[in-house]
Amino acid sequence: MLKKKTIEDIDVSGKRVLVRCDFNVPQDENGNITDDRRIVAALPTIEYLVNHHARVILCSHLGRPKGEFNMKYSLMPVAKRLEELLNKKVPLSKDVIGDDAHRLAKELGEGDVMLLENVRFHKEEEENDMAFSKALAELADVYVNDAFGTAHRAHSSTEGVSKYLPAVCGYLIQKEIEVMGKALNNPIRPFVAILGGKKVSDKISVINNLIEKVDTLLIGGGMAYTFFKAKGYEIGQSICEEDKVELAKELMEKAEHQGVKLILPIDNVVAKEFSNDAERKIVKSSEIPNDFQGMDIGPETVKLFAIELQSAKTVVWNGPMGVFEFDNFAIGTNEVAKILSSLDATTIIGGGDSAAAVEKGGFADKMTHISTGGGASLEFLEGKVLPGIACLLDK
């Protein structure tokens, strides 16, 4: 359970409330937002504050402007989208902590909403500079963090301001922690984790932590080939982290010792070269030809994973099963998304490519929870303390 105070635990009426959101949304070359999921995800918190007569000051980063005012990364498109979604004016300040931000903040009436310009226009933001944190805090009476996607970073707007203002979380962070926390600490069993992605090194801590908690661990994606190497298989031209082969052996031994089923792909889609239209074939995991590279899990593996998932009651999935950006090698990932959509279980998708696959396949509404933070959800699955959450007031 969440042991941190939420917006419902404090009086916000008439107060200026600084809300850190994650409005880092993708745009096309003309500055049109191509996916507004992160903006929509922030609405319950914003609407609660508006309905409870707060004066709402939203802030976020967008892209990597490297500490300079660069209008390519302006939050203007976000302000416009917020106006449409909230059906009210959302002025954007010309600066972050300057005269314009202070003027707009002063002019806010109860239930009004404004948006600060991109906090990363100041290099001090990512440095978690105390003076900058204090200047941000001076705009408001209360701080709300609702940006789970950046909660693993200790920046001024995610952690620093909490030293100067009473700090609580919004509904989005509350949901992330409660759903994922329950899965990790008190899951309904059987508990199955599916891990994919390119590298074992990215997921070592996650695998280590999950082996202590799950009943079954299904491994796909590029990192499977490092495990194959550890088993003594020939892997052809497949991606492999040579310096992690011993570690892969140790992880397999640890799983066996803990009585956890660690299941690797039994067949793979392999290709002559790294491109969507490359010559491809399906081979057993132990028989990858020398001049081919692994690109996706094969159909027999999909069937095997489906059998393992059929009885699951809690499933956490992080990372694609193959080279998801190529349609011909996205089949394994899409099949896993499809299997999860049909389960009678708690299904948690850990952001990133897994979330994209679920969205793309039209299965989003069939999942219990899709995390809004790739890096943050990974660190949460590792069992790490996230600074943007640790800094909030305890209940």
Which residues, listed in sequence order, are joined to residue 33 by a DSSP beta bridge?
A: 27
**Neighbour-count burial of 154, counting CB atoms closer than 10 A to its CB (0-12 exposed, 13-18 middle, 19+ buried):** middle
Of residues 218, 201, 188, 193, the one with CA closest to residue 302:
218
pLDDT bracket for residue 233 (50, 70, 90): very high
Q: What is the pLDDT of residues 80-100, one digit of tens each?
A: 999 999 999 999 999 999 999
pLDDT at 113: 98
Q: How far apart are the first and last CA of the chain?
A: 11
- Ranges 3-12, 30-39, 363-372, most confident: 3-12
In this prediction the pTM is 0.87
Of residues 201, 218, 198, the one with CA closest to residue 304:
218
Q: What is the three-class DSSP state of 121?
A: helix
pLDDT exceeds cutoff 70 at 1 = no
Longest dimension (CA), the chain: 69
pLDDT bracket for residue 355 (50, 70, 90): confident
Q: Catalytic amino acids?
A: 38, 199, 352, 375
The answer to whether 264 and 228 have CB atoms below 8 angstroms apart is: yes
Q: What is the pLDDT of residues 152-180, one digit of tens each?
A: 999 999 999 999 999 999 999 999 989 88
pLDDT bracket for residue 353 (50, 70, 90): confident
Q: What is the pLDDT of residues 101-159, one digit of tens each?
A: 999 999 999 999 999 999 999 999 999 999 999 999 999 999 999 999 899 999 999 99
pLDDT at 334: 94
- Top pLDDT among 183 and 135 is at 135
- pLDDT averaged over the chain? 94
- Top pLDDT among 31 and 51 is at 51
Percent of the chain as helix, strand, coil, to the nearest 5:
45, 15, 40
Phi, psi torsion values for 196, nearest 5 degrees: -140, -155
**Domains assigned to the chain:** 7-175 (3.40.50.1260), 187-381 (3.40.50.1260)
Mean pLDDT of 260-271: 98
Query: Which residue stretches of 160-268 are H helix?
Result: 171-185, 200-211, 224-230, 245-258
Residue type, 105: A
